[in-house]
Structure 1
Amino acid sequence: MNLFGLLGFPLGHSFSKTYFTEKFKAEKINAEFRNFELEDISRMFRIIEETPDLKGFAITIPYKEKIIPFLDNISDEARAIGAVNSVKVEHTPAGFSLTGHNTDMAGFRDSLLHFIPHVPERAFILGTGGAAKAVKYALTSLGVAVTSVSRTPTGIEIGYPEIIRQLDKTPLIVNTTPLGTWPHVENCPPIPYEHLTPNHYLFDLVYNPAVTTFMQKGIQQGAKVHNGLEMLHLQAEYSWKIWNS
C-alpha cells in the first residue's frame, strides 16, 4: 500500500489527512495518509528510511522554508518562490531522493480567479512566511502590484499602521498568517477594518473556522470574503499529480 503524509508542527489545525482519506475511499485508491508531527525537521530522514512505502508528503508550518536545505532537488518554481509545500519521495537501491515543489502558488492562483472575476491592480499580503511567498509569486505573475505587511517590517515591507495610507487604492487583502485559526478563533490581523468598503476583497488562507474573525469584520463593512479551503483542495490535487508522476 502506498503511503502519503503531512509533515509539520503542530498539526491539530490540518484537514489534509481527512481530505486525502476521503479521496482514497471515494476513488477506491489503495493508499494511506498519515500525519507526521515533528518538532525537529531533521527527524524526517528517519521516518523516510523506516517507511519505504512513503511516496510523497505535504509540508506545512513551520517547515516550508526550513526543509529546502534537506532536499536533493527542487523545482524551478519552488526555488523562485523560496518555499516548498510538497515533496516527492523516490526510493532507489542506493537510498531515497527528495524533490521539493510548490503547489500553494497554483492552488491560490486558481482559487483567487474563482473568487475575483477581474484581478485588481494592487494587493496587500499580510505575513511574510512560506505561504506569503507563494501568494506573492502568484499575484505578481498575474500582474498585481504587491505590498507585503509585517509586524516587524524590513525595508521591503510595511508595518500594519501604514496600511491605512494605501487602503483606498488596494482592494485585495490576503491574510497568509495563522491568526484566527482554531482554537484561537478570536484573533485577527490588526488592519483598519472600519475603513474597509464593499470594494474590498479579503482572502484568508485560514480555513478552520470557515468564517474567521478577519472575514467577519470584512463582511460587517460590506467587503467580499473567501477562505482557504478551496485553495487547500486545489493545492492537494496538484500535489497528488506530482506524487504520482
Structure 2
Amino acid sequence: MEIRWNTKLYCLIGQPINKSLSPIIHNNIFKTLNQNSIYLAFNIEEDEIKSTIDGFKAMGVGGFNVTIPYKKSIIKYLDDISKEASIIGAVNTVKNHNGKLIGYNTDSGGFLQTFYDNNIDIKNKNILIIGAGGAAYAIASSLAMEGVNSINIANRTLENSILLERNINKINNEIMTKVVNLSLNNLNKKKMDIIINTTSLGMYPLENMAPLELNGFSSNTVVYDIIYKPCETRLIRDAKAREFKTFNGMSMLLNQAILSQNIWGNLDKKINIEIFKKIEGILPNYIE
C-alpha cells in the first residue's frame, strides 16, 4: 500500500499493545477492500489518554479501538456512547462522526456472532461462565440481552461473581442466575448447554491447565474458550476428546474487528463472511 496525504488513519490504544493482532486484521481488511486506509497501534499511558483523544480529533482520525485497561476509563473522554456500550459499561470501538467521538462495544456482538454463524440458537439455553472479569461482563451482558434461560457463574473470588450476577439481573431480571463454586458440586451439569471460559487458564504460561473438568456434562454441551493463543487450549482438547462442539476465541476476535469496520462505515455487511474467511485463513501465521 502507498501511503498518501489522504490516507485514512485508524488505530488501537491500550497498555500494553505489543501482542495485539488488531493491526494485522484491520490492515488485511483494508488490503482486501483496496481501501486507502492504515491501522496503527499505540501504547498509551493513562495520563496521556486525554491528549491522545484531542490529537485524534485534531488529525481527523476515522476511528479507533480501545483495549485493556482503558475500555471503561475511555468513556469520560467521548462525546456519546451507544445504548449497548452503556449497558455493558465498556467501549472498545470509537467512531469519529463529524468531529464527535461516539463509543460502541463490539466485544459482545463479536462473541454472539459465532453462534449466529453456526446456526446455534442460544435463547432459553443454560450457560456456565467461568470467570468474572471484564470479558465476562461483556459476554454475560450480551447473553442477558439475548434472553438465555440461566447464567451460572464460577469464579475464584466470590465477591466478583456476586457483582457480575447483580449486573446480569439489572439487564434482565427474568434470567435465572446462580453463583457456583469452582468444584461445580452445586451445579446440575447435565442441564448446561454452553460452557464459556473467560479466564486466562490455558494461555502461556498456563497452557497445561484447564479451568474445569468436563466430567458429568452432557454430550451435547458446547464449549467456547475465548482464548485464541494457543488455538487449542487444554479445555478445547478435552472437549474435542469427548466430541463436544467447540469454539476458540479466534472467531470472537475476528468478528469484533469486522463489527468495528461496519461501525466505521468501511464494510458492507453482505461481505462480512467473505472477509472473515479470508482473514481467518492467514491469521494463524501471525500467532506465535
TM-score, with length taken from structure 1: 0.85
Q: State the match for 2:104 in structure 1.
A: 101
Task: Answer with 168-177 or 118-127: which moved more.
Answer: 118-127
Alignment pair present for 1:60 and 2:64 = no
Q: State the match for 1:208 in structure 2.
A: 229
Alignment pair present for 1:171 and 2:193 = yes
8 A Cα contact 1:185 1:213, kept in partner: no
1:48: how far off?
3.4
1:44: how far off?
2.6
1:56: how far off?
1.3
Task: Answer with 68-77 or 42-51: which moved more.
Answer: 42-51
Q: State the match for 1:241 in structure 2.
A: 262
2:199 counterpart SS class: coil
Q: State the match for 1:6 in structure 2.
A: 12
Gaps of 5+ in 1: none
1:173: how far off?
0.8
1:61 counterpart SS class: coil
Q: State the match for 1:113 in structure 2.
A: 116
8 A Cα contact 2:130 2:211, kept in partner: no
Equivalent pairs counted in the alignment come to 239
Give, in whole Å, the separation in 1 of the partners of 2:181 and 2:119: 26
8 A Cα contact 1:2 1:54, kept in partner: yes
1:90: how far off?
4.7
Alignment pair present for 1:148 and 2:153 = yes
RMSD over aligned CA atoms reads 2.4
Q: State the match for 2:183 in structure 1.
A: 161
Q: 1:30 aligned to 30, 36, 51, which one?
A: 36
8 A Cα contact 2:53 2:77, kept in partner: no
1:34: how far off?
0.9
Q: State the match for 1:20 in structure 2.
A: 26
Q: State the match for 2:95 in structure 1.
A: 88
Q: 1:129 aligned to 129, 133, 143, which one?
A: 133
2:52 counterpart SS class: helix
Give, in whole Å, the separation in 2 of the partners of 1:143 and 1:192: 27
Alignment pair present for 1:49 and 2:54 = yes
Give, in whole Å, the separation in 2 of the partners of 1:85 and 1:166: 35
- Over 3 Å counting, the alpha-carbon distance change for 1:187 and 1:153 in structure 2 is farther
Matches within 5 A, 1:224-239: 224-239=245-260
8 A Cα contact 1:196 1:218, kept in partner: no
Gaps of 5+ in 2: 1-6, 166-178, 267-288
8 A Cα contact 1:65 1:82, kept in partner: yes
8 A Cα contact 1:185 1:209, kept in partner: no
TM-score, with length taken from structure 2: 0.74
Give, in whole Å, the separation in 2 of the partners of 1:175 and 1:37: 27
1:149: how far off?
2.4
1:60: how far off?
2.0
Give, in whole Å, the separation in 1 of the partners of 2:251 and 2:49: 28
Describe the superposition over 1:160-185 as per-residue Cα deviations: whole angstroms up to 9, x where unpaired: 2236623221120112223333x435
1:33: how far off?
0.7
Question: Which residue identity does 1:60 align to in structure 2?
Answer: T
Q: State the match for 2:220 in structure 1.
A: 199
Task: Answer with 161-170 or 104-113: which moved more.
Answer: 161-170
Question: Which residue identity does 2:234 align to in structure 1?
Answer: T
- Over 3 Å counting, the alpha-carbon distance change for 1:146 and 1:163 in structure 2 is farther
- Over 3 Å counting, the alpha-carbon distance change for 1:221 and 1:66 in structure 2 is farther
Q: State the match for 1:138 in structure 2.
A: 142
- Over 3 Å counting, the alpha-carbon distance change for 1:89 and 1:118 in structure 2 is closer
